[in-house]
Chain A
Amino acid sequence: MSAGDVLAILRGAVVTVTLSLTGILIGLPIGLGLAVLRWADVPVVARIVAVYVSILRATPLVTLLLLLFFALPNIGIAIGPISAAILALVMNTAAFNCEVWRASLMNFPKDQYEAAQSVGMSAPLRFRRIVLPQIARTSLPGLVNEMSLLIKVTPVLAVVGVVDITRAAVRIGAETYDPLPPFLVAVALYAPIVFALVSLQRWIERRQIMAEAAA
């Protein structure tokens, strides 16, 4: 493996990180939106969201990605590999995030909400200033966990030709007939990122436990 090969894998890492971040940043608010729709029990929509989440959580990402990449052009929507990749990641992570947000919403102490109502806060204000800050805190470990899971499924993007860490490694392995070294480099790139996120999650959880104990 030459230095140029390592560079190619590093370039793939940029793609991995960029697409992951995009997926995470878009997926977070959408997940929140879905959770609120279910929590507020908006008629019809809440049921649709429930079914959507159930299906998305059961669908392998690779199947979803292939579906989007091949089926959308078929019905007239032109989509390239990167867009299909982002769309698949967002649809997937939004569904999982929805469940994390929803758990926080369901565990939100009702009396705080009623206190806000009784001082005349409007619904959007109630949500923005009372509910959101607190569910953001309780959802944090679950959301960070979901982020680490998202990074671990990004190799699937290689299947539609996106040159991320995995595809770069596979390509080099095919060219040099020596697949193991580039794979190990790939592992060496993924592992620290995932490990950092997992450690972050554990740190957040520890801090929250301590904060609760002190309260």
Chain B
Amino acid sequence: MAEAGRVLDVAGVSKRFGALEVLTDISFQVEKGETVCVLGPSGSGKSTLLRCINWLERPDAGQIYLNGSQIGVNGAGLVMSDRELSRIRTRIGMVFQHFALWPHLTVLQNLMEAPVQVQKRPKAEVRDEALALLAKVGLSDKRDSFPAKLSGGQKQRVGIARALAMRPDLLLFDEPTSALDPELVGEVLVVMRELAHEGMTMVVVTHEMGFARDAATRILFLDRGRVVETAMPERFFSSPETERARQFIQRYAGHAANGGR
């Protein structure tokens, strides 16, 4: 399963909550440097899919591979221990819808906490990197502030920097701008666009069509738990193949998709 350059391999993943089948037979691959945007109506299972990738939710069926190593099941075919899971999770960064910053730590401490405590990297090195990342997202002056004192946009930029501090192979974004006031969305998208441009491997669940159109290398369209369509953004937005995708784009993008109706 280890193909050079393939960062993420999702094969036949299904997940149900009680009687409700939230994900059915999801399969896709992400190559290094790709930015895959996962789009779809509410309830389509987008967030659940993301959370299955790092096993925050445990898939009921299917396999997931990060750089060739399977996530969740170890070499002996048994479910991974917390320790083994922890090791894999440190290679996957996650950015949360509601930021999820640790409230008792300053911004700088938030960035340094996991690299020092989980990855056991030397403090001085982690600190230098953290300061550089804060500069990168434009928040150097907030390094000693507590998260509660920041705006939503600032918190999310810290969230992104915190994920980057782990030097992850893959970055997962769970609706990163959905909880932001409209005027704060831009500052976060700028950072995300730059990351995509720099070649970060990203899977982004979002409602921001503009970002998907400009920054994605591929669109994954989910509806009711299934991958309905997957295409390059240009083609997806201008001439979607399926009716569901067409309806979705119409509703969200506010204009008729050409070539179809």
Touching in the complex, A and B, CB below 8 A?
A: no
